Structure 1
Amino acid sequence: MALNHAAILARTIIGIIGNVISFALFLSPVPTFVKVIKWRSTREFSGVPYVVMLLNSTLWVFYGIPAAVSNNILVSTTNGIGTVLEIVYIIIFLIFSDYRERRKIVLLLSAVPIIFTAVVLCNMLFVDTLPRRAEIVGSLCIVAGIGMYAAPLTIMGKVIRAKSVKYMPFALSFTYFINGLFWSTYACMGIDIFLLIANGAGALLGACQLVLYATYYHGVHPEDQEKTRQDGHELEKVTTVTEANQEIHISKTTK
């Protein structure tokens, strides 16, 4: 019995730590959106990861509710906070994105409440037992969770082509990896196969993102190379004009 209590306590502690890390994960886009507000443009940042994270968070909130699906209130609390933060990020993204990107994000975003409402209603109306609900919602959470962890890879092609990680947020990739690692541990201690698969895949995908980041960390983005060239041309022009003025001044002085 003592061992059982110790195991429950250990799992609870891991879950609380996982909550803290998940909170850090949901806060990790803040530096990105500070840049977006400063630039008044989203530039090449993608809004897809935030829509996928919103869907993922809402499904895990439902999954963790004791009376609805499973007794995983720690999962519900952290994802409830995540849901609010993702909505804030998406609003900022929509304000500063161009028409084409805004249209794409709005179309994706419109699917989130439809999917969530359908999942809740179908499970509450047509599925009577909690284990069966956990199986159905958990399976959907696996898909959404893997989608969330894989979403930042949408920028992967740009990173490889540009050989630069300028538009690949390190904080997001790093917290994805740590978050997946801790929640996988939590799932193993409670034998929650749905949490384990989703977050195990998340840890693996997060590791892939970190490897990509390390590979192209020292790369210079083409737009920065162009800016450097332009600055060099401007400096060359200024230098040429300055030298010409000096020659004219010397010529006038000698006369």
Structure 2
Amino acid sequence: MGGTSLERFLPIAFGILGNIISFVVYLAPVPTILKIYQNKSAEGYSSLSYNLSLFSCLIWVYYAHLKPNSGLLISINAIGCLILTCYITIYLVFATRKDRIFTIQVFVALNLVTFIGILFLTLLLFSGTNRLTVLGWICVGFSISVYAAPMSTIRRVVRTRSVEFMPVNVLVCLTLSAAVWFGYGVFTKDAFISIPCLLGVFFGIGQIVVYVIYKRKGNAVEPAEPEHIVEVAEPAPAQAAEAQVAAEGSDHEDGEGGAQEPAAAAEHITKIAEHVAQIAEHIVKLAEITPMSPTQEERKAAAEEGEGSAVETVVPENVINIPASEMNGRDE
């Protein structure tokens, strides 16, 4: 009896705790949203994670609706849908035209077309446990994408050596939430919940480690220098300026103002192809220039015919065939 009571209590306890932490996760971006509102600009920030999270909430609501005794899943994901929709709306108000267009495209393609497509396909093609299994694997895939979405900022952190755009509060909350929901999945024997949450714990810890490393690097430079050197080579303004330039120039480096992370992959492939073409062009030019060098010709001729013939190959043929009398006339 005691074991049975504990088995019933643990899923409820982890589910309630997961609801509380997940609610905090949904509120974690509030400082970012407030900063966007105060600056009247969303430049340097991405809405991709909000769209992915919204889609994940929609899918989990559908999954929990099909699975019995999943009221705790329905409640928190329904709240998440409402909060994330508010975030996306505020982002759209203050985003640039490119970011706004991209955000709307992702929202329509992911949260409307894709979700409705999954809804109809699973209802028409599957039934019973098969429908739940297919939907469960879809939930696994997009839950992993939500946990991995903030990893896109690691590239910017490494490049700029600044953690300004790395939301550590969101990372900590996501990691704690993943750990709690992993326990919920284990005690409810639901692998579709435990698998992505376990990966979410690993993703979160990795990103927090990166934050700590670069946070220490940014803070450890200034006090280590003597006072008369700090005035000349203080690195803090340079790092701040570099981070600001990276945010302002993200339209050229990161796709659509930091919001087009998927499009950035295609852009990088195009850039790689351009670099390869440039390298090939340089190789062709070098190949055209190299045979014109007399030293190269002499060495090649010396290896094949001897040093005497090498000198002859350098002298143009029309000079060799000029008669001696004509040469004397030219000298005079």
TM-score, scaled relative to structure 1? 0.83
Q: Displacement, 1:223?
A: 6.7
Aligned match of 1:181: 179
The gaps in structure 1 that reach 5 residues or longer are 228-255
Query: Superposition pairs for residues 196-235 of structure 1, below 5 Å?
Result: 196-218=194-216, 219=218, 224-225=240-241
Change in Cα spacing, 1:221 to 1:47, as seen in structure 2 (3 Å) is farther
Deviations 1:165-203 (A, max 9, x none): 101111111111001100001111111000011111111
Structure whose CA Rg is larger = 2
Change in Cα spacing, 1:48 to 1:146, as seen in structure 2 (3 Å) is same
User: What's the C-alpha RMSD, in Å, of the aligned pairs?
Assistant: 1.9
Identical amino acids, percent of aligned pairs: 28
Counterpart-to-counterpart distance in 2, 1:123 and 1:73: 21
2:36 is the alignment partner of 1:22: no
Counterpart-to-counterpart distance in 2, 1:142 and 1:161: 31
The gaps in structure 2 that reach 5 residues or longer are 219-235, 244-332
Q: Which runs of 4+ in 1 moved over 6 A?
A: none
2:129 is the alignment partner of 1:127: no
Aligned match of 2:115: 116
Query: Superposition pairs for residues 55-74 of structure 1, below 5 Å?
Result: 55-65=55-65, 68-74=66-72
Q: Displacement, 1:160?
A: 0.9
Is the 8 Å Cα contact of residues 161 and 239 (structure 2) preserved in structure 1?
A: no
Change in Cα spacing, 1:221 to 1:140, as seen in structure 2 (3 Å) is farther
For 1:217, what is the secondary structure of its paired residue?
A: helix
Aligned match of 1:162: 160
Q: Counterpart of 1:87 in structure 2: which amino acid?
A: T
Counterpart-to-counterpart distance in 1, 2:80 and 2:240: 33
Q: Displacement, 1:222?
A: 5.1
Q: Counterpart of 1:127 in structure 2: which amino acid?
A: F
Of residues 110, 125, 138, the one that matches 1:140 is: 138
Deviations 1:199-245 (A, max 9, x none): 11111111111111111124358573479xxxxxxxxxxxxxxxxxx
Is the 8 Å Cα contact of residues 43 and 95 (structure 2) preserved in structure 1?
A: yes
TM-score, scaled relative to structure 2? 0.65
Aligned match of 1:13: 13
Counterpart-to-counterpart distance in 1, 2:103 and 2:155: 19
Is the 8 Å Cα contact of residues 162 and 222 (structure 1) preserved in structure 2?
A: no
For 2:73, what is the secondary structure of its paired residue?
A: helix
Is the 8 Å Cα contact of residues 185 and 191 (structure 2) preserved in structure 1?
A: yes
Counterpart-to-counterpart distance in 2, 1:143 and 1:58: 14
Deviations 1:113-144 (A, max 9, x none): 11111222222233221x21221111000111
Counterpart-to-counterpart distance in 2, 1:13 and 1:69: 19
